[in-house]
Every structure is written in structure tokens, then in C-alpha cells.
Amino acid sequence: MKVLAFGASSSKKSINKQLAAHVASLVPNAEVDLLDLNDLEMPIYIEDIEAELSGQPPQAQVFLDRIAAADALVISFAEHNGTYSAAYKNTFDWASRINSKMFLGKPMLLLSTSPGPGGASSVLTFATNSMQFFDGKVSASISVPSFYDNFDAEKGEISNAEIAAQLKQAATELAD
């Protein structure tokens, strides 16, 4: 099984990328393709720019190709003012101009985390509720609160036993 994992953030030290990588590694017998949104930097989506380019930037197609090559997705959302990060929203906007059903019916495990107790749950709720419109099949959505209290950076894994068990079960179910 090939799993595409990424943090929906452009931070070089993204805690959401760390979480996505860790949870993807829990998927049994998975080959993990870890995507960094910084590798897909594109101009801000504006219809005028799309017209000037006579279409979409090639990075948008690369994003779609990576989705198409995967059997499942693990996405961890950063929350910026209650919604998607600008980096993810821009990538999503460009890619959806090529294919509005961009997630191709792939099963997906949606995550979010933040340094605070809210765990970026607002953006996770929004993402979970909207994926059906873009042909995403959400198998589970889990918010991890207080990332630095619940993640062991040295080991690269969740240190809270209850959260770790929940994530492991969701990763196992994604493989099924």
C-alpha cells in the first residue's frame, strides 16, 4: 500500500508534517511518500494569473499526480486563524482547477495539531466536512492537542499512550 502523507503547512519545522509522517509510518505494510508543500510553491491563485499562464502551474499537476499514485492519504492540517494555512489553500485551489474531484475516492486519515489545547480542531472539522465535495473518503479524523506535551521529538512519536493507541487504530483501519 502506498500512502501519501503531508502536513498542510509551509513551515520548515511543521509539527503537522511531523505528525503526518509519524502516523503514516503506523500504517501496516505501507510505503510512505512524504510530501513537503514547500516543494510545490506556486503563485497565489488568482484568475488573472491563471489566464496569464494559460492554465495552471506544473506544480499543481505534480500534486495531483502524487495523489493519484497513492492508495491512501494522511494529511495533518495546520490551523491559521481557524482555517487552512495559505500554503495548503493555494495548492488546493490550483489543483482543484485541474480536477475538482482531486482526491479520487482515496481513503484518507485527517489529522490536526497545534501547540495549544485546541489541537487545531476548527480546521480539522472544516476539512473533514468538506472532503466529500472533492471525492475524499475520510476514514477517521483526529485532533492532537498540545503537540509538544504529547509528542516525543527525539523518538519522533506520540508519547501520550491514549492518543498513540487512537492513532495506531486509525492507521490500521486506513490500511483495511
**What tens digit of pLDDT does each residue of 83-133 get?**
999 999 999 999 999 999 999 999 999 999 999 999 999 999 999 999 999
Helices 15-25 and 161-175: crossing angle, nearest 10°? 60
Give the start-to-end residue ranges of the domains of the chain.
2-175
**pLDDT tens-digit readout, 6-47:** 999 999 999 999 999 999 999 999 999 999 999 999 999 999
d(CA 137, CA 144): 21
Look up residue 22 and give its three cell numbers. 509519524
pTM: 0.97
Residue 3 CB neighbour total at 10 angstroms: 28
d(CA 105, CA 146): 31
Quote the pLDDT of residue 165.
98
Give the pLDDT mean for 147-160.
95
Helix (H, G, I), strand (E, B), or coil: what is residue 161?
A: helix
d(CA 140, CA 12): 26
Quote the pLDDT of residue 136.
98
Give pairs for 78-82: CB < 8 Å, separation 24+.
Answer: 78/7, 78/8, 78/9, 78/11, 78/14, 78/15, 78/16, 78/112, 78/114, 78/120, 78/123, 79/112, 79/114, 79/118, 79/120, 79/122, 79/123, 79/124, 80/123, 82/122, 82/123
Quote the pLDDT of residue 142.
98
Q: Tell me which amino acid residue 78 is.
A: A
**pLDDT tens-digit readout, 40-77:** 999 999 999 999 999 999 999 999 999 999 999 999 99
The CATH code belonging to domain 2-175 is: 3.40.50.360
- Reference 164, options 68, 58, 22, 66; nearest CA is 22
In Å, what is the CA distance from 157 to each residue of 7, 21, 141, 164?
Answer: 15, 9, 18, 8
